[in-house]
Amino acid sequence: MDSQQKLHLALAVSSMIAGTSAACFVHKLPSRGWAGLVLVLASFSGLTMFEHVGYVLSTLLAMLWGFLTPIATVYSFRARRRAPDRLAALAAFVGGIIVGGFFLIIIAVGVFQIFRTLAQGS
């Protein structure tokens, strides 16, 4: 792994950490089902565009997705109970479960890749 790839990996991981930290303050925002749905759809669109762009733009999408996904997941979970528009909140909740599952899988694959790289280096 060259230095540019390490930099891009560090940026993507730092955006995931920042998104997870920002998700801790989502409870202070007003709960709306449509807002949760927009966040989940933005997270899905970032996930689906990884393969169709160049290397640098895919890194920026990974950073955006890593920041936005924890916020979208937590917001959709909280909006389900308190939002006045229940149907949109339920759709955001289901989408939050799906995108949160993808997030956990990608984190697990990333941790595996880091340990595999460290094992090959020694």
Q: Could you tell me the residue range of the domain that residue 70 belongs to?
A: 3-121
pTM for this prediction:
0.82
Q: What pLDDT sits at residue 122?
A: 56
User: Tell me, what's the pLDDT at 11?
Assistant: 84
Q: How far is CA 18 from CA 81, 92, 116, in A?
A: 25, 22, 25
- How many structural domains compose the chain? 1
What pLDDT score was predicted for residue 47? 74
Give pLDDT < 70 ranges for the chain. Answer: 1, 51-56, 122
pLDDT at 74: 92
Whether 4 contacts 56, CB under 8 Å:
no
Residue 1 pLDDT = 65
Q: What pLDDT, on a 0 to 100 scale, did the predictor assign at position 54?
A: 66
